[in-house]
């Protein structure tokens, strides 16, 4: 009976503690919700004030035609995408080049591929794939009793495909940069032409040539060209930087592939020398004669 009462008391205390914890969490989560609501209200108020100021960039955007707005939004998205691709490709390129240097030193510090096989897990890294591809081809060829010159040719072909695949994977996204750099100015120019066309239409409707009447529309149109240049110029610069970095990366891939081929050739020569220097097997008749002489 006392044990049951103790259990009930412990359970009641746990329930009360859980309830108080939930109440505290609810009180804490209500504050961030109110804080987010204040941020949203402040942002909407700022957008409303910026829209009323026709001389600001946001005001010109809010007062622009829907076609010009679509052009500006698309160019702004292209600009953000340009920076994302640049940082992603640059980070990946720096990481892969550092890994290639480390793996190159590991292979260069060993005499044979069999000694470095355990260092590179299968399928991990470009150099690891090269090492395992060379060893796999060597094993298949030796099992079939094929000539070593054919082994070198087949390994060289497979390493070339691995090298090309690694270089192609590093070029992912560079085509988008090239397209943005070549088309963004023309897209911005299209928005400019459309906005100026609307300005001339407003001139004909208002029957006045006052510059104050048409200046806001022309400014909105020119803003589209400015955004197009903001998207295109970094895209061209980033594409050139990435292309230059990819050129160095391809050279490092070629060096790693050549090192794997040299090490494999050394392994094949070692195996051939051991096979030539090994003692020949004694014929069965000679073994029988020696056995009779011993008796």
Same structural domain for residues 238 and 267?
yes
121: in domain: yes
291: in domain: no
- What is the spatial distance between Cα 92 and Cα 185, in angstroms, rounded to a whole number? 29
174: in domain: yes
286: in domain: no
Same structural domain for residues 100 and 179?
yes
Same structural domain for residues 30 and 154?
no
Quote the domain boundaries for residue 121: 57-277
Who has greater pLDDT, 218 or 231?
231
Q: What is residue 213's predicted lDDT score, i.e. its pLDDT?
A: 63
Same structural domain for residues 83 and 180?
yes
Mean pLDDT lowest for which of 32-46, 77-91, 212-226, 243-257?
32-46
Q: What's the Cα-to-Cα distance from 68 to each of 50, 218, 219, 257, 274, rounded to whole Å?
A: 18, 11, 12, 52, 77
Same structural domain for residues 142 and 232?
yes
Mean pLDDT lowest for which of 46-50, 187-191, 254-258?
46-50
290: in domain: no
Mean pLDDT lowest for which of 5-14, 114-123, 154-163?
5-14
Same structural domain for residues 221 and 249?
yes
Q: What is the pTM of this model?
A: 0.68
Same structural domain for residues 144 and 256?
yes
Which sign, positive or negative, has the C-alpha torsion 104, 105, 106, 108? Answer: positive
Who has greater pLDDT, 61 or 174?
174
Same structural domain for residues 212 and 188?
yes
Same structural domain for residues 87 and 205?
yes
259: in domain: yes
271: in domain: yes
Domain count, the chain: 2
Q: What is residue 79's predicted lDDT score, i.e. its pLDDT?
A: 92
Q: Whose CA is closest to 271, among 181, 148, 180?
A: 148
| pLDDT tens readout for residues 123-165 | 678 888 888 888 888 787 776 666 666 777 888 888 889 888 8
The 3-class secondary structure across the chain, one letter per residue, is: CHHHHHHHHHHHHHHHHHHHHHHHHHHHHHHHHHHHHHHHHHHHHHHHHHHHCCCCHHHHHHHCCHHHHHHHHHHHHHHHHHHHHHHHHHHHHHHHHHHHHHHHHHHHCCCCHHHHCCCCCCCCCHHHHHHHHHHHHHHHHHHHCCCHHHHHHHHHHHHHHHHHHHHHHHCCCHHHHHHHHHHHHHHHHHHHHHHHHHHHHHHHHHCCCCHHHHHHHHHHHHHHHHHHHHHHHHHHHHHHHHHHHHHHHHHHHHHHHHHHHHHHHHHHHHHHHHHHHCCCCCCHHHHHHHHHHHC
Who has greater pLDDT, 202 or 106?
106
Same structural domain for residues 34 and 137?
no
Q: What is the chain's mean pLDDT, rounded?
A: 74
Who has greater pLDDT, 218 or 293?
218
Q: What is residue 181's predicted lDDT score, i.e. its pLDDT?
A: 92
- What is the spatial distance between Cα 71 and Cα 60, in angstroms, rounded to a whole number? 13
Same structural domain for residues 145 and 253?
yes
Same structural domain for residues 41 and 115?
no
288: in domain: no
């Amino acid at each position: 009976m006392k044990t049951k009462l103790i259990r009930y008391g412990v359970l009641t205390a746990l329930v009360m503690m859980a309830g108080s914890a939930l109440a505290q969490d609810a009180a804490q989560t209500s504050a961030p919700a109110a804080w987010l609501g204040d941020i949203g209200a402040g942002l909407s108020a700022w957008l409303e004030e910026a829209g009323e100021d026709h001389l600001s960039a946001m005001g010109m955007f809010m007062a622009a035609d829907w076609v010009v707005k679509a052009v500006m939004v698309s160019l702004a998205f292209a600009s953000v995408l340009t920076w994302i691709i640049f940082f992603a490709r640059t980070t990946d390129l720096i990481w892969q080049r550092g890994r290639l240097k480390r793996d190159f030193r590991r292979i260069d510090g060993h005499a044979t591929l069999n000694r470095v096989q355990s260092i590179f897990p299968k399928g991990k890294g470009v150099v690891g794939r090269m090492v395992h591809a060379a060893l796999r081809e060597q094993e298949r060829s030796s099992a079939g009793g094929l000539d070593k010159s054919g082994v070198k040719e087949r390994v060289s072909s497979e390493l070339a495909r691995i090298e090309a695949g690694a270089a192609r994977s590093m070029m992912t996204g560079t085509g988008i940069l090239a397209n943005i750099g070549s088309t963004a100015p023309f897209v911005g120019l299209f928005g400019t032409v459309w906005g100026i066309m609307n300005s001339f239409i407003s001139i004909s409707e208002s029957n006045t040539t006052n510059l104050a009447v048409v200046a806001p529309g022309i400014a909105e149109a020119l803003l589209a060209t400015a955004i197009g240049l903001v998207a295109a110029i970094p895209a061209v610069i980033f594409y050139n930087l990435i292309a230059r970095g990819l050129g160095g990366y391809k050279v490092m891939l070629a060096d790693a592939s050549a090192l794997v081929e040299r090490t494999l050739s050394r392994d094949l020569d070692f195996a051939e020398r051991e096979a030539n220097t090994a003692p020949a097997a004694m014929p069965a008749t000679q073994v029988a004669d020696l056995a009779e002489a011993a008796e």
